DNA sequence: CGTGCCCCCTGTCAGC
DNA sequence: TGCTGACAGGGGGCAC
């Protein structure tokens, strides 16, 4: 569910509150959410630690905690990281998984209906190793059109599936893959290596643009995603293809199609995104 | 190694 | 009013 813009939104909100707070209590209500260690060890190491910087890698939320290590939170499909201050009038979450009790009565609640999400405490060395398995950050200056083109040229996968692979580019998921390909006018089934140089450049630009715009809108809420404050993101109103099967393309009015690629839905405009390639229009 | 498919889990909604 | 099946922002594991 949550992709880079949703994780980034949560990080920005957490940064305003949690750095400097100590973990006074920790409830692990669903031990199956804890990766890489027993829930008891996870809890023991984090108790008493102080949360430092909050950052992001791809779709993952990273909380430095001293001396425990690096806490990596992946939200899966339905995960939320909710911040609750004492005296909050918000209703209690229905599916809490892990609750961090911080200083001053502040609670950080990991909430997840489907429990596809994961929390993992990593050592500095383990964290570096894990980070190296992910592709470049698409909003960083090191993510260039040339680098994208080189990587695409080594794969026969449909470009939509390629974009979902976190080892290629970190942070793009099903919504923004469909959106970026529509903006770049590339059919999602095109083999990655078949893209022309100008199509690679268009895709590079559209990935960065759609991610930036979605961050500005605090992400896309379809059903489960919420910001740390519990708000919905507003980018759903600005989606051009995702979730719009049968509705007219905003550009050419042709009906948007839904198709299946490696068991995930991909949305496209069959007229704007010709399967044969950029020259076939 | 790269690629495709199944599965993890719960909730919601459309169709009968 | 149920029941059943399809589907949902992700990703790990396994077979080929």
Measured between alpha carbons, how far is A145 from A168 in angstroms, rounded to an integer? 13
Does residue A116 reach within 7 angstroms of strand B, measured from its CB?
yes
Peptide bond between residue A67 and the one before it cis (omega within 30 degrees of 0):
yes
Q: How many Å apart are A163 CA and B7 C1'?
A: 22
Q: Tens-digit pLDDT profile for chain A (281 aa)?
A: 699 999 999 999 999 999 999 999 999 999 999 999 999 999 999 999 999 999 999 999 999 999 999 999 999 999 999 999 999 999 999 999 999 999 999 999 999 999 999 999 999 999 999 999 999 999 999 999 999 999 999 999 999 999 999 999 999 999 999 999 999 999 999 999 999 999 999 999 999 999 999 999 999 999 999 999 999 999 999 999 999 999 999 999 999 999 999 889 999 999 999 887 644 43
Tokens matching residue A197: 């140089």
Catalytic residues of A: 2-3, 59, 264
Tokens matching residue A248: 């007219």
> In what helix (H) or strand (E) does residue A74 lie, and over which residues does it extend?
strand A69-74
Q: Say what the pTM is.
A: 0.97
Nucleotide nearest to A233 (CA to C1'): C9
Q: How many Å apart are A159 CA and B3 C1'?
A: 13
Among residues A9, A41, A11, the alpha carbon closest in space to that of A26 is found at A41
Nucleotide nearest to A95 (CA to C1'): B10
Nucleotide nearest to A155 (CA to C1'): B2
Those nucleotides of strand B lying less than 7 Å from any protein Cβ are 2-12
């Amino acid at each position: 569910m949550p992709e880079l813009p949703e994780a980034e939104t949560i990080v920005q909100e957490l940064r305003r509150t949690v750095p400097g707070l100590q973990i006074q209590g920790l409830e692990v209500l669903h031990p199956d959410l804890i990766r890489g260690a027993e829930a008891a060890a996870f809890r023991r190491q984090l108790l008493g630690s102080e949360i430092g910087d909050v950052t992001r890698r791809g779709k993952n939320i990273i909380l430095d905690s001293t001396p425990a290590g690096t806490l990596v939170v992946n939200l899966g499909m339905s995960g939320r990281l909710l911040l609750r201050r004492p005296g909050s009038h918000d209703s209690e979450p229905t599916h809490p998984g892990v609750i961090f009790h911080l200083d001053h009565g502040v609670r950080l609640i990991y909430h997840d209906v489907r429990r596809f999400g994961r929390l993992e405490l990593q050592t500095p060395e383990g964290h570096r190793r894990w980070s190296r398995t992910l592709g470049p950050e698409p909003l960083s200056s090191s993510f260039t059109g040339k680098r994208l083109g080189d990587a695409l040229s080594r794969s026969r996968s449909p470009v939509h599936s390629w974009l979902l692979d976190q080892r290629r580019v970190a942070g793009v998921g099903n919504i923004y893959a469909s959106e970026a390909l529509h903006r770049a006018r590339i059919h999602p089934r095109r083999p990655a290596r078949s893209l022309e140089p100008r199509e690679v450049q268009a895709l590079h630009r559209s990935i960065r643009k759609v991610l930036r715009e979605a961050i500005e809108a605090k992400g896309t809420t379809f059903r489960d995603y919420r910001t740390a404050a519990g708000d919905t993101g507003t980018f759903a109103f600005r989606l051009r293809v995702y979730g719009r099967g049968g509705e007219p393309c905003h550009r050419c009015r042709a009906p948007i199609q839904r198709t299946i690629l490696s068991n995930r839905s991909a949305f496209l405009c069959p007229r704007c995104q010709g399967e044969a390639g950029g020259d076939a229009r």
